[in-house]
Structure 1
Amino acid sequence: MLLRKLAAGLRNAPAWQQAVAERLASSTLCSTSGRASESPAFGTLWAQLHSRFASSNASGLKAYKPTTPGFRGRVITSRKDLWKGGPFKPLTEGLSRSGGRNSQGIITARHRGGGHRKVYRELDLARGEGTTAAVVQRLEYDPNRTAHIALVKHKDTEPGVALRQQYSYYLAPQGVQEGDVMYSGVDAPILPGNSLPLSAIPVGTAVHNVELRPGQGGQLGRAAGTSCTLVKKGDDGYAVVKLPSGEQRLVLSRCMATIGVLSNPQNKNVKLGKAGATRWSGRRPRVRGVAMNSVDHPHGGGRGKSKGRISQTPWGKPTKGYRTRSNPRTDWAIRMSRHKAART
């Protein structure tokens, strides 16, 4: 009787959850005597099913049924609230893959190649002060980035204007839904999705898509679930922004930033489940250095498993604790490095 009531309460659940609940309700566990439904084994079974249903619906993650070895451990982010169709075609363009090679054909990024074909969505990352208010039409999945994107329609657009000028793609922060209005400018309210100069944002506010140069477009804080924090606003025209890595750097107060934390925070908990899912994303297998010959890698050669030296790249550079950044031109803007922030 208890299972039948719970199965009836799952009418709004996905089809596979309804099928499992109905199958349990009609099984031998629901005997007329009622003794089986009161057994400890039944309670444990239903507790596991209930926790699985609740976690898959509320946590933002989607777990697969273990029908294959690859699905057994596969966990991805849920897309039930996103647009089910394709992208807005006027704002898309073809995306050619380089395979990790530069313009001379030399491999500069190893282990790149293959992967599923993608269509690039043109995002408006600048969002200057003259941008009109925009209404969110829908939230979409973007295969080119970890955060979700929002298709918006600009208000007060002149009739006869091209569609790509009436609509734009924005990075979607948490809390923004279909029908919300996004504003840009100094007078915009401090609400998620609105874009303002750093000089007009209160200290301590979480922001994303922060510009490094006015009008260039946001470059800082664009990954899923991340945000920057406005730490200080100075009188010299600069503001101190704390990045997700812990680094604190100076940014011009005239630079634009968007209020809020970016969407899809559960992206860090994704488990691909099988090696093929990595190949779909365009990443090829990596061969361990200790499995190579000595002419191919510093860790190679020898009898049996032997490394005999600190971890190195194939070209002899240390891979642990060795800092490779060398850009004195921008050192003045870094107030606290991420390495120092990690020690404090």
Structure 2
Amino acid sequence: MALNRLFTGLSISSTVLGRRTIYTGVVNFASKPALVKPKPGFGKAYRRIVHFPEEYTVKPLEVTNLAGRDPETGRVVAKGIGGGIKHKYHWVAWIRDGPTEGPPQEEKVIQIIEDGCRTANVALVAVGDKLKYILATENMKAGDILKTSRHLPRIPVRANEGDAYVLGALPTGTFVHCVEKEPGKGGLYIHAAGTYGTILRKQDDRIVVQMPSKRLFSFDQHCMAVVGRLSNIEHGSTPIGSPQRNRWLGNRPRSGLWHRKDGRHGRKIKPPKPVKEIYHPKKAKPVAIQLSMKP
């Protein structure tokens, strides 16, 4: 139908401009495909692109801020995202792997770092001759010794803050974070600052954990979890303080077109209605009825 309309319109103008108009119009119509505007969500982020190398490294990674734009088309998708301050990205090793038998593996905390790309702090940890980043807990400090083990004992262990064990090895009521969805896949749940999950009960070979949203999730007893509450507890209760700091954080203000009285979707200021006269209604005189003897 669109092509028919195009050719119909061009045939009328071809009598004036000739064949060149038809050729140019058809080429322009065919060379412009239908554009599909991307939508936010669906697991795609429009805030930043992290340039990951092929191998794991503790060197801070370069970041490209997207400011809410689609990296392919350059169109604005998320209007609430701004540029923000450029931060280096610290690559967190989500898999806490340890021995399945024998004593647990020991890891030493070297330094606690504030990461601008996430809400919780990050800890630089030494494991043997290797370094890696993990999420720091509430009271973690440099020099702490952490333990990691995948062994499932018969009696629950008494774990300290920052230790990583399988859920089946921890007693009921323990605070945990970085819980694995499947054994060996790495910590997927509970990453935000100041959050924690609680082990409520055990059902056969399943462990029920209460998430920060108060929902109950049932995990396999061999899934790893880190003990303790995440750091930077005051993140959620700290006021932003100024509009400029909000821009530093990468939050873009609204359009400013909405006003309560005279802006978009606002109640417009209209002139008052004319004066309405209020008076007491007068009673009408009864109509005289004339009677006659004629039917």
Three-state SS of the structure 2 residue aligned to 1:269 is: coil
2:239 matches 1:271 = yes
| Alignment match, 1:229 | 198
TM-score between both structures, scaled by the size of structure 1: 0.54
| Alignment match, 1:136 | 109
| Alignment match, 1:147 | 120
| Alignment match, 1:110 | 79
Structure 1 residues 289 and 244, CA, compared in 2 at 3 Å: closer, same or farther? Answer: farther
| Alignment match, 2:177 | 208
TM-score between both structures, scaled by the size of structure 2: 0.62
Q: Is the 8 A contact 2:260 2:267 kept in 1?
A: no
| Alignment match, 2:25 | none
Three-state SS of the structure 2 residue aligned to 1:279 is: helix
Q: Is the 8 A contact 1:207 1:261 kept in 2?
A: yes
| Alignment match, 2:134 | 170
Return the match for 1:300 from 236, 256, 265.
Answer: 265
> Quick one: which amino acid aligns to residue 97 of structure 2?
G
More helix by share: 1
Superposition deviation, residue 293 in structure 1 = 12
User: Bigger CA drift: 135-144 or 105-114?
Assistant: 105-114
| Alignment match, 1:259 | 227
| Alignment match, 2:65 | 97
What's the C-alpha RMSD, in Å, of the aligned pairs? 2.8
Return the match for 1:291 from 227, 244, 259.
Answer: 259
User: Bigger CA drift: 257-266 or 178-187?
Assistant: 178-187
Three-state SS of the structure 2 residue aligned to 1:115 is: coil
CA separation in 1, counterparts of 2:138 and 2:214? 21
Superposition deviation, residue 175 in structure 1 = 2.2
Superposition deviation, residue 220 in structure 1 = 1.6
> Quick one: which amino acid aligns to residue 197 of structure 1?
V
2:212 matches 1:248 = no
Q: Deviations over 1:206-264 (max 9, x none)?
A: 001111122222122111111000112221x3221111111112222221110011112
CA separation in 1, counterparts of 2:69 and 2:118? 20
Q: Is the 8 A contact 1:227 1:260 kept in 2?
A: yes
Structure 1 residues 108 and 231, CA, compared in 2 at 3 Å: closer, same or farther? Answer: farther
Q: Deviations over 1:169-210 (max 9, x none)?
A: 111112222111112113575111011111111111000111
Query: How many residue pairs get matched?
Result: 204
Q: Deviations over 1:102-148 (max 9, x none)?
A: 45435442221221111000011111234942111111111111211
Structure 1 residues 226 and 107, CA, compared in 2 at 3 Å: closer, same or farther? Answer: same
Q: Is the 8 A contact 1:115 1:283 kept in 2?
A: yes
| Alignment match, 2:250 | 282
Three-state SS of the structure 1 residue aligned to 2:236 is: helix
CA separation in 1, counterparts of 2:70 and 2:168? 39
> Quick one: which amino acid aligns to residue 118 of structure 1?
H
Identical-residue share of aligned pairs (%): 30
CA separation in 2, counterparts of 1:118 and 1:278? 15
| Alignment match, 1:195 | 164
| Alignment match, 1:179 | 143
Q: Deviations over 1:268-315 (max 9, x none)?
A: 221222100000011110136743999xx9x7255149xxxxxxxxxx
